[in-house]
């Protein structure tokens, strides 16, 4: 399960010496952690408030947001919910995965950390690196 600090950043040993990370960190009692949940196959009419209300039936929700297209502002059909309690988050995932919301079958599971996208340009081409021959 993806665990983050309440400020939204994943805990890293180099940033916070003496703090346990990963599964060890999540199981530590009394730590302020946020569990992030992915919700897929949302209807385009589902908004942040509707998503929050759905998950509040299963526990305390720190935030809920439906991801929107940058240019059009229309829903992209998925979103994320952050819950304060690991047990409540697990129960919400089990209860809501495969259920219907606004005529769509939801896909609910633990969010994975965002993968870094490789940037940078290609190689070669005219004017780059000289003549091969």
Q: Measured between alpha carbons, how far is residue 108 from residues 20, 81, 96 in Å?
A: 27, 10, 7
Which pLDDT does position 25 carry in this prediction? 46
Confidence tier at 74 by pLDDT (50, 70, 90):
very high
Is this prediction's pTM over 0.85? no
Please check whether residue 83 lies inside any domain of the structure: yes
pLDDT over 70, % of the chain: 65
Q: Torsions phi, psi of 110, nearest 5?
A: -65, 135
CATH number assigned to the domain comprising residue 68: 3.30.70.330
Among 63, 61, 66, which residue's Cα sits nearest to residue 43?
Answer: 66
Helix (H) or strand (E) holding 35: strand 33-40
pLDDT in tens, 45-69: 999 999 999 999 999 999 999 999 9
Which pLDDT does position 84 carry in this prediction? 93
pLDDT in tens, 87-122: 999 999 999 999 999 999 999 999 998 888 776 666
* Domain range for 33: 3-110
Mean of the per-residue pLDDT values of the chain: 80
Please check whether residue 92 lies inside any domain of the structure: yes
Per the structure, the count of domains in the chain is 1
pLDDT in tens, 14-43: 444 444 444 444 455 545 579 999 999 999
Please check whether residue 55 lies inside any domain of the structure: yes
21 within 8 A of 11, measured Cβ to Cβ = yes
Please check whether residue 63 lies inside any domain of the structure: yes
């Amino acid at each position: 399960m993806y665990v983050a600090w309440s400020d939204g950043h994943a805990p890293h040993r180099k940033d916070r010496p003496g703090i346990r990370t990963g599964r060890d960190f999540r199981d530590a009692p009394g730590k302020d952690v946020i569990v992030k949940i992915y919700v897929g196959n949302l209807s385009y009419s589902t908004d942040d408030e509707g998503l929050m209300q759905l998950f509040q039936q299963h526990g305390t929700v720190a935030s809920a947001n439906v991801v929107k297209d940058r240019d059009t502002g229309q829903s992209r059909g998925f979103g994320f919910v952050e819950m304060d309690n690991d047990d409540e988050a697990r129960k919400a995932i089990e209860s809501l995965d495969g259920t219907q919301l606004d005529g769509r079958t939801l896909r609910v599971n633990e969010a994975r950390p965002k993968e870094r996208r490789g940037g940078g340009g290609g190689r070669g081409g005219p004017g780059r690196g000289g003549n091969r021959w």
